[in-house]
Amino acid sequence: MSEKMALFQENLLLFLMMILTPKLVSSHDRHYSPPSASRLTDLFPHVLFDHGFSTFFGGSNVKLLNNASMATLSLDKSSGSGLVSKNKYHYGFFSAAIKLPAGLSSGVVLAFYLSNADSYPHNHDEIDIELLGHDKRNDWVLQTNIYANGSINTGREEKFYFWFDPTAQHHYYSIIWNSHHTVFLVDNIPVREYPRRGAFSSVYPSKPMSVYMTIWDGSDWATHGGKYPVNYKYAPFTVSLAESEMTGCISSSTSKNNPTTQPSEPVSSCSKSSASPSSDPVDGPDFVTLSKQQSMAMDWARSKVMFYSYCKDASRFKVLPPECK
Residue 257 has pLDDT above 50, yes or no: no
Is residue 82 domain-resident?
yes
Question: Quick one: average pLDDT of 19-42?
Answer: 69
**125: CB partners within 8 A, 6+ apart:** 114, 115, 116, 147, 148, 149, 205, 206, 207, 209
Specify if 166 maps to a domain.
yes
Contact yes or no for 249/268 (Cβ under 8 A): yes
Which contiguous run of DSSP H or E holds residue 191? Answer: strand 189-195
Residue 304 lies inside a defined structural domain of this protein: yes
Say if CB 154 and CB 203 are below 8 A apart: yes
- The residues, any chain, with a CB within 8 Å of residue 130's CB and separated by 6 or more, are 109, 110, 111, 112, 113, 142, 143, 144, 145
Q: Report whether 89 contacts 220 (CB < 8 A).
A: no
58-67, 146-155, 315-324: least confident range: 146-155
Mean pLDDT of 117-132: 94
Host H or E run for residue 194:
strand 189-195
Q: Which residues form the domain of 307?
A: 44-251+278-313
Residue 324 lies in a domain: no
More confident residue, 202 or 108: 108
Asked whether residue 70 is domain-assigned, the answer is yes
Please say if the pLDDT value at position 277 is more than 80: no
Q: Is residue 2 pLDDT above 70, yes or no?
A: no
Position 201 pLDDT exceeds 90: no
Coil vs helix vs strand at 7: helix
256 assigned to some structural domain: no
Among 19-28, 199-208, 288-297, which stretch is predicted with the lowest mean pLDDT? 19-28
Q: What is the rounded distance in angstroms from the CA atom of residue 80 to the CA atom of residue 77?
A: 8
What mean pLDDT is predicted for residues 183-195?
Answer: 97
Residue 248: predicted pLDDT: 93
Examine the pLDDT at 319 and tell me if it is beyond 80.
yes
- Residue 65, pLDDT > 50, answer yes
Please give the DSSP secondary-structure letter assigned to residue 209.
B
Residues that are catalytic = 126, 130
Mean pLDDT value across residues 163-182: 95
Which of the two residues, 12 and 322, has the higher pLDDT score?
322
pLDDT of residue 163 exceeding 80, the answer is yes
In total, how many domains does the chain have? 1
Residue 27 has pLDDT above 60, yes or no: no
Instruction: Output the pLDDT for position 174.
Output: 98
How far apart, in Å, are the Cα atoms of 217 and each of 4, 112, 179?
49, 15, 33
CATH number where 240 lies: 2.60.120.200
Distance CA 141, CA 134 (A): 6
Tell me if residue 247 falls in helix, strand or coil: strand
Buried b / exposed e across 265-301, counting CB within 10 Å, b at 16+?
ebebebeeeeeeebebbbbeebbeebeeebeebbebb
Residue 36 within a domain = no
Is 135 inside any structural domain?
A: yes
